[in-house]
Structure 1
């Protein structure tokens, strides 16, 4: 549905323990920074997430392009169920181990070529995550067209095993078998999440797989901000609005008997 067709979409006014919550991180929970390491976690966010995790009986997971180890560092001392690197790794329980899915060996083999492409621009940053490679150009936006064209050519020559994700000021190469949607499916098959109505909140085209997965399970896909790459009515203006909503729910004003109330 186009934003132009229906304006804004309201998130549920209340939640209860029949829901499951999947949260993207950068641009959804945290304000985007010029560099991935430059993000900051507002002081109230970790206590709110801890409270929500308890209220939802453990059915809350972070689903991010970042590795799970980085998520643990950002939200320390809180350890949540999490999927990292767009689903290439996951942890079903905050106290459990991280499970890494196998990736096609061609992906790490492409890293030198990615670095050669990026080296044309001094402020373009290549981030090696292990199961994905991100190229950030927020500090050099004029690189977008040429950089994207070169990376598309590289991925096309890789024979279909690698996919190029074109996010906000970032281009990311990943094994196309591993997606946020697949991660959501893994969580929904686990005891803490099974049988619940899922909500996925995300801000970018990299979250579309997660959106589709929760909708297929009868849940809600809630977009953050107006993004031409996401043909959806937004539910939140920005990450601050997401945090405010989470805080209201965590504080008890949004926890009630399930009503299923959400503007569609």
Structure 2
């Protein structure tokens, strides 16, 4: 059996309950459904185990326990819903990896998820995939992949069409930028320009980079303050928020 997803099955990395550690919904307890695989390779990725399809995913045995049991990939929507019955959080964070790489599964599974608020965490580059699932999503957490931060190519056109679609569909949407000491003023300006072209009031989250197990990377307070000043000169809804789950010591 293939580990890749289909319309009826998904390739997962893990399922667990924790507090949201990023963005404007910080502190809210959520059930995180982490999908496997991501085509991007951000140098500061903090979930490297979700970059590839894997034969097994891990399920938290009791919500919040950080104790896990492994199950084989892929998983059907009915089996996933059965597992989620053990989690009573109001929010489900659909995250990754890049969950929109499995949009066919999401488009069939999400309509079956009842009485939950769905938060989609995404790299913000797969607009056509977003269109397949957006009717079943309540909140879109969209990254801006700044080339001077990620070490990859720019995705400005993809980011603009993605944000435009989420905004046109009147979804709650916010953008998040991971910034490092090497983040350029030009990249910040390009991100600001996209947001002001669509709606300058879209929440704009500046997230200082966190070191990973394999990369010792940081940003000085002076550079972070400089970036924040640039953003606030053009946007009214700028927030600087680190990855708080790492501060709290939770998943």
Both proteins in one fold, TM over 0.5: no
Which structure's relative contact order is higher, taking Cα pairs within 8 Å and 6+ residues apart?
1
State the TM-score, normalized to the length of structure 2: 0.28
TM-score, normalising length: structure 1: 0.27
> Which structure has the highest strand share of the two?
2
